[in-house]
Amino acid sequence: MATNFTKELMVKPGTKVKLEKYDPEETLGWEKNHKTKVSLEKALARIDSLQYLLYAEHKRALLIILQALDAGGKDGTIRHVMSGVNPQGCHVTSFKAPSADEQAHNFLWRIHNAIPKYGDIGIFNRSQYEDVLVARVHNLVPKGVWESRYDQINSFESILHKNNVRILKFFLHISKDEQKRRLLERIDDPDKRWKISEADFAERKHWEDYIAAYEDAISRCSTRGAPWFIIPANKKWFRNLAVSHIVAETMEDMDMKFPPPTVDLKRLKWK
């Protein structure tokens, strides 16, 4: 099945997003079978090969941003989609509540410090968008402050794009029922109980507020240089398939080339 995942799942700039119109069960006609498994394996192999080229060329970087409601699958996506890459050139940053030092700077300071260097892939588990999501839902700052941050984020991402940092932003879209199932699964599975936090369950009370906040963030910050992708994520296998293909398609579009050798190969002599 020939599917352009990038085209199908990208939020075009200027789109007014209403998440109720996006089915978290969607699979674009794919089924969980051997054919899908092979397609995923090929995409992962392409990412591995292209990461080597990215590192060799050393002229640009790739930044992958993962956002989701609790239990949306950010950790699982990182574990599966990045399973074949060289860990020396792939760095994951998880953004928690800001530390005292981070709070002493502007909200983008800690983000800029984690941007991947040329030749590397950087993955953000949560990101600058927490400052227009959590900060908005829980009234951590006045409305005028978080309202101004959309433009600041767009400007920040534009600077990165103009300086050869490609940005992919994924919203892993799950339903409220699926979130409940996954949270209850953590209670039932002894190997997953360590993940349980009271905050995960308490935040469900704010589900609609978070949906509204995500709709605004995606609508206002999906740009040509830093697009958002809404990934139907109720089915983990499709989530992994879609994200893998989009990453591979993007890296292929970067038109990277191996640099020339730094020595004159004809003058090398073997003894």
Q: How far apart are CA 95 and CA 117, in angstroms?
A: 18
Amino acid at 261: P
d(C-alpha 165, C-alpha 167), whole Å: 6
Q: Indicate the pTM of the whole model.
A: 0.95
Query: What's the one-letter identity of residue 38?
Result: V
| Domain boundaries, given as residue ranges, for the chain | 29-255
Q: Would you state the CATH architecture of domain 29-255? A: 3-Layer(aba) Sandwich (3.40)
Q: What is the reported pLDDT for 1?
A: 66
Per-residue pLDDT tens digits of the chain, which is 271 residues long = 689 999 999 999 999 999 999 999 999 999 999 999 999 999 999 999 999 999 999 999 999 999 999 999 999 999 999 988 999 999 999 999 999 999 999 999 999 999 999 999 999 999 999 999 999 999 999 999 999 999 999 999 999 999 999 999 999 999 999 999 999 998 988 888 888 888 878 899 999 999 999 999 999 999 999 999 999 999 999 999 999 999 999 999 999 999 998 888 888 877 6
Q: DSSP 3-state assignment of 25? A: coil
- Secondary structure (DSSP) of 135-187: HHHTTSS-HHHHHHHHHHHHHHHHHHHHTTEEEEEEEEE--HHHHHHHHHHHH
For 7-28, write each residue's pLDDT tens digit.
Answer: 999 999 999 999 999 999 999 9
Tell which residue, 234, 223, 229, 226, has the closest CA to residue 246: 229
Residue-level pLDDT at 84: 85
pLDDT of residue 142: 97
